[in-house]
Amino acid sequence: MRLPIMRILILILIAISIASCANRGTPTGGEKDILPPEITKSVPANFSTNFKGDEIRIYFNEYIKIKDLRKQLIVSPPMDTEPLVTPMSGASDYITIKIVDTLEANTTYAFNFGESIVDNNEENPYPYYRYVFSTGNIIDSLSVKGYVVDALKEEPDTFISVMLYEVDSTYTDSIIYKQKPRYITNTLDSLTSFNIENIKAGTYKLIALKDKNSNYMFNQKNDKIGFKEDFITVPTDDSYKLTLFNEKVNYKAVKPSQDGETRIIFPYEGDYESMRIEVLGDTPEAYKTRIVKDPKTDTLYYWYKPKFEIDTTFFLVKNDKQIDTFKHRFRTIKGDSLSIKPSIQGTLHFNEDFTIEANIPLAKIDTTKIKIIDKDSLAVPLKVEYDSIFNRYKFPIDKQEGQKYNFTMLPGTFTDFYDNINKDTLTYSIRTKMKSEYGKIRVNIRNAKFPLILQLVNEKDEVMYERYTTDSPVVDFTDLVPRKYKLRAIFDTNENGKYDTGNFLLGIQPERVSYSEPIEEVRSNFDFIEEFTLLD
């Protein structure tokens, strides 16, 4: 029996209404939480005096977690044994700080959490929370403020440690290599300024470190350093500028090792130019050596002939100030065959020269077996320059725009240290672009103090082009590859034509560097004029 049509329509309307009500009541999750967690209490209370315990608890109004604690947490003064902070993983509505180290008497301690405390859901940070207590009757309340710059880079690194060493009867400059500072803070990841708080009155040495090992002690090889030349006295209203720089690493010879059939590597630190390597004892008859520097690493390759018939010998490694003796055991390693390759392929820019490199020291070149012709099959005059320390032959031809140069090097062109020759004909083809494919910048220097080194650097602060001026305030950069550059000036104080860094123990600051305002991106076939005003 069929239901009346009206009854069917009523049932359909009821079903639609129920579905609509169900959809209207579906949860949406609410608005996104953008509020940071709040502290409800601390036990003991923040800024407590006469602290005697070994545990602190900080309670929050919601579940929180710890993020990047090792990078963010700064304890001042630093503790020899780091405190245990929980939870290290997971979430909780409180933080526990377990103090493992023995606390000093009458000392104010500060735990700077940075932005490591975040809520569990949205990771909204509790900004720059500090927990402070004193083991004595008072909380030290003085402070030292300032800012950090980089000697060469336009912007300094992040997470710079800024430290105060107390100047007392035990203070020496070498303390920065051996002991942790009295007070410390951090510039974190978005600031260049610093403020060391809760300091007691006194005299201090102010230091900044890009502390790779996070041990609050200076490692010359790995860390950048900045310092105030004179001691500072607290209290003070001064704001201090600290310039970070990489020191020139002190010379050090490192134990050599066999690297090829007749090749030994001699690693080193610092300056290699005055290094001398000698065999201590007898050598084979007609013994000869060659030394080549690795272009990227602090390594010298020591090539020798003929082979030693003994298992072990001793080497003296000297420079102007010291002598090191190393025992070396020879190993049997398969020898290399001569391999030659160009350092540039394809396009040759006008500030470059075509260069040949080899894996074995080259001893001789036969220029009669080299021919260079251009795209019109015309011979190009040949010039050759040899760099023995990097084992490179350079061919500084007179480059013309829009040209193609074909290099042909017949068998026997190159003879290496072991009298091997290139057995095949080597052919290379390179081209030059039109001058209109490059850009040009004329720099008008205002308030110049000569001599100056002008540099165009890329986004990584790597030098792409450089000019030196001793008297002219107008400097031209021509034949520039189109791209974005930054312009900087180096005040060449000692007039040696290169940038010189600083030295903490000698109290020397790095040579001053100034960046211009951002310059336009270099475009093809376009001349730019930049006004560069140097500040006093």
Quickly count: other Cβ atoms within 10 Å of residue 169's Cβ.
4
Cα–Cα distance for residue pair 359/487, rounded to 1 Å? 37
DSSP string covering 210-260, please?
E-TTSSSS--TTT-EEEE-SS-EEES---EEEEEEBPPPPPPEE---EEEE
Where are the alpha helices (H) located in 61-161, listed in sequence order? 69-72
* Structure tokens given for 432: 């030059």
Mean pLDDT of 115-128: 90
pLDDT of residue 11: 54
What is the percent of the chain with per-residue pLDDT over 90, rounded to a whole number?
86
> Among 32-46, 163-177, 475-489, which stretch is predicted with the lowest mean pLDDT?
32-46
* Structure tokens given for 124: 């909204």
Average pLDDT, the chain: 92
Cα–Cα distance for residue pair 307/312, rounded to 1 Å? 12
Query: Which pLDDT band holds residue 72 (cuts at 50, 70, 90)?
Result: confident
pLDDT of residue 115: 86
pTM for this entry? 0.84
Order of strands across the sheet with 340-342? Answer: 340-342, 354-358, 392-395, 385-387
Cα–Cα distance for residue pair 299/217, rounded to 1 Å? 27
* Angle ∠(227,230,233) on CA atoms, nearest 5: 105
- Three-state DSSP at 72 gives helix
- Three-state DSSP at 418 gives coil
CA count, 13 A, side-chain hemisphere, 49: 8
Q: Name which of 145, 148, 151, 150 is nearest 164 in CA terms.
A: 145
Q: Tens digits of per-residue pLDDT, 249-293?
A: 999 999 999 999 999 999 999 999 999 999 999 999 999 999 999
Mean pLDDT of 321-337: 94
Q: Which domains does the chain have, with CATH numbers?
A: 39-134 (2.60.40.1220), 142-244 (2.60.40.1120), 260-329 (2.60.40), 340-433 (2.60.40.1220), 437-533 (2.60.40.1120)
Q: Tens digits of per-residue pLDDT, 416-475?
A: 999 999 999 999 999 999 999 999 999 999 999 999 999 999 999 999 999 999 999 999
pLDDT of residue 13: 54
Cα–Cα distance for residue pair 478/461, rounded to 1 Å? 20
What is the percent of the chain with per-residue pLDDT over 70, rounded to a whole number?
93
Query: Which pLDDT band holds residue 24 (cuts at 50, 70, 90)?
Result: very low
pLDDT of residue 434: 97
pLDDT of residue 335: 87
Cα–Cα distance for residue pair 216/200, rounded to 1 Å? 20
User: C-alpha distances in angstroms, 167 versus 143, 161, 183, 231?
Assistant: 16, 19, 12, 8
Cβ-contact 430, 404 below 8 angstroms: yes
